[in-house]
Amino acid sequence: MSNQQELSTKHLLGIKYINADDINLIFETAVNFKEVINRPIKKVPSLRDVTIANLFFENSTRTKISFELAEKRLSADVVNFSSSGSSVKKGESLLDTVNNILSMKVDMVVMRHPAPGAHVFLSNHIDANIINAGDGTHEHPTQALLDAFSMREKLGSLKGKKIVIVGDIMHSRVALSNIYCLQKLGATVKVCGPPTLLPKYISSLGVEVEYDLRKALNWCDVANVLRIQLERQDIKYIPSLREYAQFYGINKDILDSLDKEIVLMHPGPINRGVELSSDAADSDHSIILQQVENGVAIRMAVLYLLSGKRS
């Protein structure tokens, strides 16, 4: 239960900057919005007269659609911008681009940007509420919130639960946000993957490292499996995807051979046959589609709660 009625912050820049009460308040609000989006009429007037700009300087499918749906379900006015085909390609700075958009009287900005810290920079320069939809390899807070919310739905309180994050920890913003979020909720987090994809600083975050996939899976209650982020790898970190799949790919046979039932998660997009086989991704263990559904409710909750902190 949250002891708060409102968030402690005006922006959602990262999970690092919010506390456990904020997270619980977002969850409680998301439970109500999940009920709303399952009604025949899925819309509420909560953000009527609020204008939200979705600024995507990096590719996105589900996060962008999920934010847009969340905004529309809350009756906000929505404008979309993506950097391909924009003046960014003509050399305009981030601040100029955003200030131009804000002159059109935008109240909230949802942004995905390749530069870690871009949102913190912007929050020092503009008045609108800023929501981080992914900053490079750094944080992806709404993904971590929807992941933890989905785990909580399945397992109850996360206090003392064991979560392993498997795969390309080094290049994943989902990993860092998950670690912060799960630890704030009292879970124990391990990471598992090839040594070249596990950054050295990871143990300083209070996270244990396990290189053996089978051991990690036998230890955990939940495995959150990440994609190999080839687009962020400037050098070769693994010999081949085939070899990666052999050592770190999860299939139904591995799941069936474990000592216990575990929950399988993935933020998407999945590389089927690499980190997850189809029979694992589509098995009863998997809650991947529930994650996507919960994403809309979580983003509605974040937008709604932050809108109360507009100054």
- List of residues contacting ligand NCD (CB under 6 A): 62-63, 134, 140, 143, 173-174, 227, 267-268
**At how many degrees (to 10) do helices 141-155 and 62-73 cross?**
80
For the bound state, the minimum distance from the C-beta of residue 260 to ligand NCD, rounded and expressed in Å, comes to 27
Report the DSSP beta bridge partners of residue 222: 163, 263
For the bound state, the minimum distance from the C-beta of residue 227 to ligand NCD, rounded and expressed in Å, comes to 4
Nearer to ligand NCD among residue 51 and residue 143 (C-beta): 143
**Spatial distance between the Cα atoms of 249 and 105, rounded to a whole number of angstroms:** 48
For the bound state, the minimum distance from the C-beta of residue 39 to ligand NCD, rounded and expressed in Å, comes to 25
Q: Which residue is nearest to ligand NCD (CB)?
A: 227
CA–chain centroid gap for 245, Å, is: 24
Nearer to ligand NCD among residue 51 and residue 54 (C-beta): 54
Report the DSSP beta bridge partners of residue 75: none
For the bound state, the minimum distance from the C-beta of residue 133 to ligand NCD, rounded and expressed in Å, comes to 8
Nearer to ligand NCD among residue 97 and residue 229 (C-beta): 229
CA–chain centroid gap for 41, Å, is: 27
Question: Cβ(251)–Cβ(193) under 8 Å?
Answer: no
Question: Cβ(257)–Cβ(285) under 8 Å?
Answer: no
Nearer to ligand NCD among residue 134 and residue 249 (C-beta): 134
Nearer to ligand NCD among residue 174 and residue 298 (C-beta): 174
Nearer to ligand NCD among residue 64 and residue 152 (C-beta): 64
What is the b/e burial string over 195-207, where b = at least 16 CB atoms within 10 angstroms of the residue's CB? eebbbeebeeeeb
For the bound state, the minimum distance from the C-beta of residue 169 to ligand NCD, rounded and expressed in Å, comes to 12
**Spatial distance between the Cα atoms of 270 and 124, rounded to a whole number of angstroms:** 35
List the one residue out of 3, 49, 13, 7 whose CA is nearest residue 180. Answer: 13
**Element housing 129 (H / E):** strand 129-135
Nearer to ligand NCD among residue 152 and residue 227 (C-beta): 227
CA–chain centroid gap for 81, Å, is: 20
For the bound state, the minimum distance from the C-beta of residue 149 to ligand NCD, rounded and expressed in Å, comes to 15
For the bound state, the minimum distance from the C-beta of residue 178 to ligand NCD, rounded and expressed in Å, comes to 11
**Spatial distance between the Cα atoms of 128 and 88, rounded to a whole number of angstroms:** 20
